[in-house]
Amino acid sequence: MSPEKMVTMANQIATFFKTQPGTDQADRIAAHLSDFWDPRMRAQLQSYVSEGGKGLDALVLDAARKI
């Protein structure tokens, strides 16, 4: 998948979880990514984050470190 599409998808997930109560949004994003993104998508995200993660929401960056 293109990096732009991946960033958009990940940030949409973060936007949803930001609206949910609690303070564990990054954990919940990590769980969502683990449950619904296939291993290749997660590996692409991890690689993108290791290269700086340009454009990713801070919650996605935090979540990526948890998976």
pLDDT along the chain (67 residues), means of 10: 97 96 96 97 97 97 95
Q: How many domains does the chain have?
A: 1
At 48 the pLDDT is 98
Single pTM value for the model: 0.92
Which pLDDT score, from 0 to 100, does residue 50 have?
Answer: 97
Spatial separation of the C-alpha atoms in residues 15 and 19, rounded to whole Å? 7
Owner of token pair 């996605």: 60
CB contact burial 31-63 (16+ within 10 A = b; e otherwise): ebbeeebeeeeeebbeebbeeebeebbebbbbb
Phi, psi of 40 (to 5 degrees): -65, -40
Question: Residue 49 sits in which domain range?
Answer: 3-66
